[in-house]
Amino acid sequence: MKSDTFLQTKEYAQQLDRGSWTFREEFYIKEGTYYMDGNSLGLLSKRAEKTLLLSLDDWKNLGIDGWTSGHQPWFDFSEKLGALTTPLIGAKPEETIVTGSITTNIHQLFATFYKPEGKRTKIVADELDFPSDIYAIKSQLQLHGLDPNEHLILVKSHDSRTINEADIISAMTDEVAIVWLPSVLYRSGQLLDMELLTQEAHKRNILIGFDLAHSIGALPHSLHDWDVDFAVWCNYKYLNSGPGGVGGLFVHKRHHGKAPGLAGWFSSNKEKQFDLELDLTHAHSAGAFQTGTPHILSTAPLLGSLEIFAEAGIENIRKKSLEMTEYMMNLIEAELSDFGFDIGNPGENEHRGGHVCLEHREAARICKALKDHQVIPDFRAPNVIRLAPIALYTTFEEIWETIQIIKRIMVNEEYKNYENARNVVA
């Protein structure tokens, strides 16, 4: 999409929809609702529902034999789903596993790879990262008897929105053991140059890992070819696996054979697992970094969801996502320029993730007003309204309607009817 073709009209939005592909009919979408929060929790698809019901059916009809028989045998289900995830992250099947959550997987990877030695004891992260990543890193430092105030380096932001990659690289000193970063910053939607940062870390003999929560399912990656050491993600945002859906992790093939820092039942080589020996023979794949038994009913919806991604193609998804966020930004500039809004995300395609960061001092109140108008946004303190048009199921007309509703809220000052504070869950 070129900005010089942009028109503000509803008819133009409808024209864009007619010229675009969609999987909208695959999803359960509440009539009259404009869902702009798929970067927090993706909507349920009919296929995800079907694969969940198939696992329930296996349990109902097979009991314990569901582990090895049935529609979706559970014993190697995590490996199967990991292999199906690889096209989205540019990995090899043996490098990817569906397991755990972002935080538990961070603990696993740091327990495995963070080995402070000599003066190389520090971890580099950034001050705009999602806080729970920082909680996990601090606790890992404390488990080693190290003070996070001394051994955790948080790269500062110059504008409270973005992180300068040159500043990250400058922090990569010979005292650093690991660099940990988000692929896309959760507030502003800034997309970091993962390839560049990996190259620079490895030049300095530093391991580097990424949290892909806000990029997986929204844009392509090449983790193996970029030589990224490890990564984690959740599957319930752009990948639509359901609330609390099981996450995933990537460990580069060159690290396979390394013993997991947190060993457990499913860390085992599958051929040896039921030998029940007291010494673990761990898998020589990403499967080694599992711990407990897979959560089948929280995993099963992902199979149906990944089928949709395989059909749509991540390159096509990225292209349409960029078109939708550009269209939304154009509408914001055309319709909302008189109401004190700022666009906080990068404008350039190569630096923008999958959502628009709309900033306003009354953001919390505006979000509450939007919800009463059946628009589902996402508030992030102190002043961010995140709006995520999802390539698979959002329409351009819905984007147009959303911006018109925001404009009416501002013109009529409806937001003043609400308290300017977040709800318990923002």
- Annotated binding site for pyridoxal 5'-phosphate, which residues? 102-103, 130-133, 211, 214, 236, 265, 293
- Strands, E assignment, 164-216: 176-182, 207-211
Q: How far is CA 208 from CA 61, 114, 212, 340, in A?
A: 45, 11, 13, 39
Say if CB 326 and CB 1 are below 8 A apart.
yes
What residue numbers does the annotated binding site cover?
A: 102-103, 130-133, 211, 214, 236, 265, 293
Q: Where are the alpha helices (DSSP H) in 171-295?
A: 194-203, 223-226
Say if CB 54 and CB 254 are below 8 A apart.
no
Length of the chain: 426
Say if CB 246 and CB 298 are below 8 A apart.
yes
Say if CB 35 and CB 29 are below 8 A apart.
yes
Burial class (CB in 10 A: 0-12, 13-18, 19+), 30: exposed
For residues 270 and 280, what is the distance between their CA atoms, to the nearest angstrom? Answer: 11
16, amino acid identity: L
Q: Which residues contact 266 (CB under 8 A, 6 or more apart)?
A: 78, 99, 273, 287, 290, 291, 292, 293, 294
For residues 420 and 400, what is the distance between their CA atoms, to the nearest angstrom? Answer: 25
Q: Where are the alpha helices (DSSP H) in 213-260?
A: 223-226
